[in-house]
Structure 1
Amino acid sequence: MISLAVTASLSLTAPELPPLPPIKREAQVVYVDRSGALLGVRGGRYGPPVDIAKLPAYVPGAFVAIEDRRFYDHTGFDPIGIARAIVVNAEQGRAAQGASTITQQLARNLFLSADQTMERKAREVLYAVQLERTYSKKQILGLYLSRVYFGGGAYGIEQASRRYFGKPAARLTIREAATLAGVLKSPTNYNPIEQPQNAAKRADLVLAAMVETGVITPAQRKQAMAQPLKLSGAASSSASGYFLDWIDAQRRSLVGAPKQDIIVETTLDSAMEAAAASTAKAVVARHQAQNVTQAALVALDGQGRVRAMVGGLDYASAPYNRAVTARRQAGSAWKPFVYLTALEAGAAPDMTVVDEPVVFGAWSPQNYSGGYAGTLTLEQAVAQSTNTVAVRLADEVGRPNVAATAKRLGIVSPVNTDPAMALGTSLVSPLEMAQAYSAFGNGGERIQAYGVERIRTVGGQVLYQRKASPAQAVIANPALSDLNRMLRGVVASGTGTRAAIAGYDLAGKTGTTSDYKDAWFAGYTGGFTAVVWMGNDSGAPMKRVTGGAAPAELWRGFMVSALKRAPARPIPPGPPPAILPPPEPAQSIDTLLEAEPENLPPAEIVDEPPI
């Protein structure tokens, strides 16, 4: 009744209304993927007012048709709409219809809370009238379209257009405009990603309203309904929250707090990101019975650009980034650093070693099989992930040298040098493992993983531009080509056969830790590396999940999709063989140097048998 009283009062008089509160808007940081599609917004929630003149007429027309048909005729509130809503609500005994105009919705958004009180509703009407006296209809509609919520973290039509369709609002089609206008009634129930059928029905209703109001013709409606809705790859992935958290900290260090809207151009490939997130969820779901609850994935190109980063299965409920922040034992995924150190010291893939019991004081490493294979080549030992050979080899070449190799390639976490270090007892993140493995697949050059390419203002002023760093060769031949040969064998016939993809040159290594607490697969092709970790945040053991099983399955599922977008090329041979100084005399690899263990882990690191 108070709405009717206000309506009657305002229709009879033109009262002096209190001035409008100031309209405040904080500066926005808009993140876009490598193709310009919206990833997310940090800082200010709302964009600048939309310039209606730059939009196709059917875009604002869609919102007016479904939200407020008499928008261009009323003075802030709609007496006819209020009367209609009262009658319908009385007949149905519930609040079946609302009567808020676009101007009232804007007034509520700008100045008021969403509390359902008569006082708030009255102030809403007063502010709406004042808005109409202060601004033109185009300005009001532009403000409105910059602030309404479309779901998926998108506020305003510009964010929504880039979120769902990967394009600016000025390029929306009639069907896309109707879809976005339909979302406003319920961003949850009419989200085109999560509720495509509901969204389609609602869009058809909007199109009908657009015909009734003369925005489009019946023929245009028929044509729009026949067009399939093409959604952006970014829209289907909420996993980018992990990536945005990671680069938001970098952005702050590069340009500080923005005083105006800025756009951060990133390295992320939204389609790869979506594939990584959906594959991770599917694989974990298939292995839930084995007590697998979490997964992480990082994919880098040969220059260090992060193309995909999945820090967990659900950012909304668990934003902790397992790809960057979590550090877990790498298991046998660490062994390539051991073998590379040995190859650089003069070893060769065909060199023979003996898989037999070895003892360091009170500790003796065990193989996954529980037995010993006898005489093997180094290449066979890598493919079968033989623990005894890796431990003896690290001891002979020097565990501090193995640690130095890992650091040289990109491991930044502390590395222990006890006898079990060869089996991956050091704590590392998937991101730094991806950095280190990238040198194997890009010709022996160290890379630095990064996610920010450029930062600019909306007006185009460049605030930061990443500059290419000089290539830093960290692996020479023949060691590089020999290691790649050995790690190809892991995928071709060893513990990583589930990661194989016909027609591609792939190499990698599996990793499984004590009591099955962590499982890894780290692999690469020419100029593209991906690392997968699976486990539980609590550190609880999984049920016999090895790196060659679920992680290799996740890695392969992601790579099948990613290799369609990444330039697929063979693993490069790297630089010509370096002229190395003659190696110093060393004991045979088969001769174990007795040593007293220090700070040994409570249980051995294991790995899986060849499949």
Structure 2
Amino acid sequence: MKSSHFEPGTDGETELIPARRPQEKPQKKRLWLWRAASIFLMSTIAFGAFFYLYLRYADLPPNDIANTSKLVAADNTVLTDLVDGGENRLKVSLHDIPRSVVDATISVEDQQFYNHGGFNPAGIARALWVDIKSGQALEGGSTITQQLAKNLYLTQDKTIQRKLQEALHTLQLEMNYTKEEILEQYLNVIYYGQGAYGIEMAAQTYFDKPSKDLTLAEAALLAGIPKGPNIYNPFFHFDAAKERQRIVLNLMAQEGKITQEEADQAFQEELKFAALKTPKGRAPYFTDYVSYQLKQVYGVAEEDLYRGGLKIQTTLDPSMQKAAEDAVAAHLKNHPDVQVSLISIDPNTGEIKAMVGGQNYAESSYNRTLAKRQPGSAFKPFVYLAALNNNYTPSTRIKSEKTTFTYDDDKGEPKEYEVHNFNNIYAEDYLSFRDAIARSDNVFAVTTNMDVGPERVITTAKALGISSPMKPYPSLALGVFPASPLEMVRAYAPLANGGHKIEPYAIRSIEDTYLEEVKTFQPQKEQVIDPGAAFILTDMMKSVLTDPYGTGYRIHDGFSRPAAGKTGTTDTDAWMIGYTPQLLTAVWIGYDKDRLLSATESHLAAPIWADFMNEAHKNLPEKNFAAPSNVVESFIDPTTGQLATENCPVKRREYYLVGTEPTDWCEEHPSMNKNPVDKLEQEAKTGGRTFWDWLTGRGKGE
């Protein structure tokens, strides 16, 4: 047995090996670290080599510069190309671009363009600092190469994925093209607003000249636009464009491209702009409206919209659009100065089927379907709808005579308001609800407004879709507060569709061929009024077109389908708004600067409406408005508003909300029968009148 105690050099020396093992661990650890570092270094080198080869030789993605965005009608026929590839994109060589354009662009967009490899951290930091100090975005942080990558291959979405893609494509551009080639591409594809891509098209769009003839002042102004094509568009924001031009000129002077004196002289130079060009394509007022909606409502960036690759399907019906344009042209050919608006929608969905915003788009692109004008008596249905929801029925009668009302103004002071009928003609007797609507009696409307309460009328109008300001005055009932034709069709739609509020819309879908995605849009409905009240008012509004005393009766022969409507006339505005179950159309006539309408001009809206509606319905089945379950039918004597007897000379069918129908028999023409309803039911079944009735005029219905 060996002792556990031993001397060095003895046989027990081998037992010292376990004591040395802990000293070998650092050596193994260092070896492992060297191996890991070598593997990491070799992997990094391999990845770097692969990444370089990828950037150097991988193809850049295809761009949509040649694939223009299109607006198509409901039947998929093209309305217009948002950018015409042969006209709005004109390529020009860098050698043919003035030095002033190149210097202005580099000075304002990327002063270190020739010194960086695609990214300029110092420039980004400097731009950020300048913007912070000035409180506004004066300089861009992206380099010219980054902007080119974004405009050629990407959308304007501000996401991390897009930023990474932008960085990748920026490196590819720098590795595959010279600085001159990058700059030439940039100047040929950057967006300058007004649908103009590239400096050549921008020069022609804004100054009606080729880019090689641009002056220093013009070059500086154009160079400032890409930062914000909407903000710095000189056609619409001249002051902002001039301020931006001043910034560009000062930067050029600081960079030594021009002297400060030259900068000052260029800023003082008078700019002579080209005339706004008329866009090609059909329905220009509508396509303008769609473009605005895409940018402002649907969030499509203007650069994405005009760079190409989008197919926007709209709601426009080409045959209805042609009918609208033809009707306007036919009735206004002898009235070249008067203006017009026509908008037609499907009241059940809100789809805009036709839109005419003026007589001549080439002379004025102002879309009058969006202009706010006094609706006059076309506002009265909102008053009457509020009344039907507050104890009024078709049996309600009000005396038509000159009347003065007292009300409190905005300051709470009492005021008097005297209401007048057209030409001061009054019935001097009680009018039925239906007759007051047909004749557009102002006394009935204002009396109803004050009885129900102007605040309730305003609440009703807002619920239907009127968003313009209104005040609780007696004159509210006469449509003195302006509203646009678009607002008016939105507010009339619930009357036509059973009480549902809808939003007129023009875009069905947006297809992005670059992202391979399609966004569709469905109409939204909201029940805002009682369907029975909507039906009753609609039925009474039919008399505007069918009653010989109706203000729209003169067009009855021009459009004979079941329809309801209301005219509206002020000194400067003429309206006709009417609808069937399938189509709702508003026509406005007037002058842009509130010039007085002549007697002839004030009667133009209704025949335009009739001609359009007649043509637009040719391929639609004839329909009548269906009565909802919460209304009942009664025959009344319109002179008393009471149930008609067999002795009433005039018997009129009216509809009532259940529980509001009259229960008393006519007191002026009492029945000799014990049960007058039996006689009436017999008349309804047999066609009504005996020979004696016919001879004496008794039993005559309307």
Query: Structure 1-normalised TM-score?
Result: 0.57
Which among 363, 377, 384 is matched to residue 317 of structure 1? 363
Report the 3-state secondary structure (helix = DSSP H, G, I; strand = E; otherwise coil) of the residue aligned with 1:478.
helix
Match of 1:256 in 2: 300
By relative contact order (CA 8 Å, sep 6+), the higher-ranking structure is 1
CA separation in 2, counterparts of 1:575 and 1:530? 27
CA separation in 2, counterparts of 1:575 and 1:110? 66
**Structure 1 residues 528, 401: closer, same or farther in 2, change over 3 A?**
same
**Structure 1 residues 410, 280: closer, same or farther in 2, change over 3 A?**
same
Q: Give matches, 1:33-432, under 5 Å.
A: 33-42=73-82, 44-46=83-85, 110-111=91-92, 240-252=283-295, 253-257=297-301, 258=304, 260-287=308-335, 293-301=338-346, 302-324=348-370, 326-360=371-405, 361-373=415-427, 374-432=429-487
**Structure 1 residues 445, 109: closer, same or farther in 2, change over 3 A?**
closer
Is the 2:79–2:282 contact (alpha carbons within 8 Å) kept by the matching residues of 1? no
Report the 3-state secondary structure (helix = DSSP H, G, I; strand = E; otherwise coil) of the residue aligned with 2:596.
coil
CA separation in 2, counterparts of 1:498 and 1:529? 19
- How far the C-alpha of 1:416 sits from its partner, in A, is 2.2
Is the 1:300–1:529 contact (alpha carbons within 8 Å) kept by the matching residues of 2? yes
User: Which amino acid is the alignment partner of residue 342 of structure 1?
Assistant: A
Q: Is structure 2 residue 578 aligned with structure 1 residue 523?
A: yes
User: Which amino acid is the alignment partner of residue 294 of structure 2?
Assistant: R
Report the 3-state secondary structure (helix = DSSP H, G, I; strand = E; otherwise coil) of the residue aligned with 1:555.
helix
User: Which amino acid is the alignment partner of residue 300 of structure 2?
Assistant: G
Q: Is structure 2 residue 540 aligned with structure 1 residue 486?
A: yes
Report the 3-state secondary structure (helix = DSSP H, G, I; strand = E; otherwise coil) of the residue aligned with 2:345.
strand
Report the 3-state secondary structure (helix = DSSP H, G, I; strand = E; otherwise coil) of the residue aligned with 1:455.
strand
CA separation in 2, counterparts of 1:321 and 1:345? 38
Report the 3-state secondary structure (helix = DSSP H, G, I; strand = E; otherwise coil) of the residue aligned with 2:424.
coil
Is the 1:265–1:452 contact (alpha carbons within 8 Å) kept by the matching residues of 2? yes
Q: Kindly provide the CA deviation profile for residues 457-511 of structure 1, in whole angstroms up to 9, marking residues without a partner as x.
A: 2378334210342x32222143222201210001101001133345511110000
- How far the C-alpha of 1:435 sits from its partner, in A, is 0.9
Is the 2:454–2:473 contact (alpha carbons within 8 Å) kept by the matching residues of 1? yes
Which among 613, 616, 623 is matched to residue 559 of structure 1? 613
CA separation in 2, counterparts of 1:510 and 1:538? 22
Match of 1:499 in 2: 555
Q: Kindly provide the CA deviation profile for residues 561-583 of structure 1, in whole angstroms up to 9, marking residues without a partner as x.
A: 11124454222334635999999
Q: Is structure 2 residue 503 aligned with structure 1 residue 448?
A: yes
Q: Kindly provide the CA deviation profile for residues 106-160 of structure 1, in whole angstroms up to 9, marking residues without a partner as x.
A: 9x964479x9xxxxxxxxxxxxxxxxxxxxxxxxxxxxxxxxxxxxx9xxxxxxx
Match of 2:269 in 1: none
**Structure 1 residues 580, 349: closer, same or farther in 2, change over 3 A?**
closer
User: Which amino acid is the alignment partner of residue 557 of structure 1?
Assistant: D
**Structure 1 residues 433, 24: closer, same or farther in 2, change over 3 A?**
closer
Report the 3-state secondary structure (helix = DSSP H, G, I; strand = E; otherwise coil) of the residue aligned with 1:363.
strand
User: Which amino acid is the alignment partner of residue 285 of structure 2?
Assistant: Y
Is the 1:297–1:310 contact (alpha carbons within 8 Å) kept by the matching residues of 2? yes
The unaligned stretches of length 5 or more in structure 2 are 1-62, 97-194, 196-279, 406-414, 633-655, 661-702
CA separation in 2, counterparts of 1:276 and 1:317? 19
- How far the C-alpha of 1:311 sits from its partner, in A, is 0.5
CA separation in 2, counterparts of 1:487 and 1:271? 28
User: Which amino acid is the alignment partner of residue 572 of structure 1?
Assistant: A
Match of 1:76 in 2: none
User: Which amino acid is the alignment partner of residue 309 of structure 2?
Assistant: D
User: Which amino acid is the alignment partner of residue 270 of structure 1?
Assistant: P
- How far the C-alpha of 1:371 sits from its partner, in A, is 2.5
User: Which amino acid is the alignment partner of residue 480 of structure 2?
Assistant: T
Report the 3-state secondary structure (helix = DSSP H, G, I; strand = E; otherwise coil) of the residue aligned with 1:328.
coil
CA separation in 1, counterparts of 2:433 and 2:353? 33
Q: Kindly provide the CA deviation profile for residues 512-549 of structure 1, in whole angstroms up to 9, marking residues without a partner as x.
A: 01x2x0000000001310000000011100112476x2
Q: Give matches, 1:600-611, under 5 Å.
A: none
**Structure 1 residues 282, 437: closer, same or farther in 2, change over 3 A?**
same
Which among 478, 483, 508 is matched to residue 565 of structure 2? 508
**Structure 1 residues 397, 582: closer, same or farther in 2, change over 3 A?**
farther
Q: Kindly provide the CA deviation profile for residues 549-604 of structure 1, in whole angstroms up to 9, marking residues without a partner as x.
A: 21110000111111124454222334635999999xxxxxxxxxxxxxxxxxxxxx
Is the 2:630–2:657 contact (alpha carbons within 8 Å) kept by the matching residues of 1? no
Is the 1:439–1:447 contact (alpha carbons within 8 Å) kept by the matching residues of 2? yes
User: Which amino acid is the alignment partner of residue 400 of structure 2?
Assistant: D
Report the 3-state secondary structure (helix = DSSP H, G, I; strand = E; otherwise coil) of the residue aligned with 2:331.
helix
- How far the C-alpha of 1:34 sits from its partner, in A, is 0.2
- How far the C-alpha of 1:281 sits from its partner, in A, is 2.0
- How far the C-alpha of 1:432 sits from its partner, in A, is 0.9
Q: Is structure 2 residue 586 aligned with structure 1 residue 538?
A: no
Is the 1:255–1:463 contact (alpha carbons within 8 Å) kept by the matching residues of 2? no
Match of 2:25 in 1: none
The unaligned stretches of length 5 or more in structure 1 are 1-22, 48-105, 116-152, 154-236, 584-611
Q: Is structure 2 residue 71 aligned with structure 1 residue 31?
A: yes
**Structure 1 residues 397, 546: closer, same or farther in 2, change over 3 A?**
farther
Q: Kindly provide the CA deviation profile for residues 415-444 of structure 1, in whole angstroms up to 9, marking residues without a partner as x.
A: 222110100001100011011111111122
Match of 2:37 in 1: none
- How far the C-alpha of 1:246 sits from its partner, in A, is 1.4
User: Which amino acid is the alignment partner of residue 564 of structure 2?
Assistant: A
Report the 3-state secondary structure (helix = DSSP H, G, I; strand = E; otherwise coil) of the residue aligned with 1:349.
coil
Match of 2:147 in 1: none
Match of 1:51 in 2: none
Number of residue equivalences: 375
Report the 3-state secondary structure (helix = DSSP H, G, I; strand = E; otherwise coil) of the residue aligned with 1:401.
helix
Identity %: 34
CA separation in 2, counterparts of 1:30 and 1:419? 49
User: Which amino acid is the alignment partner of residue 320 of structure 1?
Assistant: Y
Report the 3-state secondary structure (helix = DSSP H, G, I; strand = E; otherwise coil) of the residue aligned with 1:541.
coil
RMSD, aligned CA: 3.1
